[in-house]
Amino acid sequence: MDLLLRTFGALCSPAGAGARLSILIYHRVLPAVDPLTPDVVDAARFESQMRLLSCLFNLLPLSEAVSRLNSGTLPARAACVTFDDGYADNAEVAFPILKKHGIPATFFIATGYLNGGIMFNDKVIETVRRISSEEMEFPGIGVFRLSDMQSKRDVIRQLLTFLKYRSVSERQDFMNRIIDSEKIALPNDLMMRSDQVRMLAGEGMGIGGHTINHPILSGLDLESAREEIAGGRTALEEMTGSPVRTFAYPNGIPGRDYRVEHARLVAEMGFEAAVTTAKGVARQGSDVFQLPRFTPWDIPISRFSIRLAGNLLQSKILTA
């Protein structure tokens, strides 16, 4: 199976000017499966995926891959591993596995949540996890059962959909009312500490910008977007003592979560590349400020392999 996939990869992604660059995106890597969020990658699944990737692909640091993409010197089966947001388990769980397999990675970090913060989606998940009532009314959405894991998963999906494209302050106000009424204590150790960011940088991992507060950029005016992007980069550069040259758009869907003017803004601000959450691969001619990424959410390693191979066949190219 591995030989077949390597051969397929070499045919689809030869070296040089015809190369295709696959970029994988991860968020959390949990120590063990969480019954409330069973689709989130855990350590065992991540280990098997990294073992497979190291056998099938030539894994490069993102900054090197972008440079070689531009110059037409990518190796066959080129790929990169990236992480978004800045979760503590990236440093505590994922990094030791990456180091074991000799895999470079880039971590895109929303700096406003470091050192004890909690992101909007995690605030929703951890709030619902801790609600003891078997039924509850959520303003503007309806009354929902909360008596078992499946019903809690359904409520989480409803809340995330309802709140996702609202402003940061609207999200906070909505969730804080629930948290206060239920007297819920949320965890303060989900995101990295500054010293963990420095550790990753010191170990040769890439550190990229991901704004301060992880807003949907399309919901901001351009100057506010600039402040979010610049503020996050400055904080990371002060933290690590190194320049931050890459950026990931929060949420990252082209045309919905960010627009072409945001890609131009990132280029004008001196970044070398930016990544999206559009599926597909990058090739010569791709806009390096709108690089696609593959999301590996499949549990069986066989399905992961098949979908990874299928991603190589994606033909759409985002251009400037």
pLDDT in tens, 118-166: 999 999 999 999 998 888 888 888 898 999 999 999 999 999 999 988 8
The answer for residues whose C-beta is within 8 angstroms of residue 83's C-beta and 6 or more apart is: 25, 26, 27, 90, 94, 105, 106, 107, 108
Single pTM value for the model:
0.91
Residues of the chain short of pLDDT 50, as ranges, are 1, 3-5, 7-11
Residues β-bridged to residue 25: 82
Tokens of 316: 């759409």
Q: What is the pLDDT of residue 299?
A: 66
Tokens of 184: 């819920």
Q: What is the pLDDT of residue 9?
A: 45
Q: What is the pLDDT of residue 7?
A: 47
Tokens 């301060």, residue located: 212
Please tell me the distance from the alpha carbon of residue 249 to that of residue 258, in angstroms, as a whole number: 7
Q: What is the pLDDT of residue 298?
A: 61
Q: What is the pLDDT of residue 1?
A: 46
- Determine the length of the chain: 320
Please tell me the distance from the alpha carbon of residue 23 to that of residue 87, in angstroms, as a whole number: 19
Domain 2-115+191-312 has CATH 3.20.20.370: yes
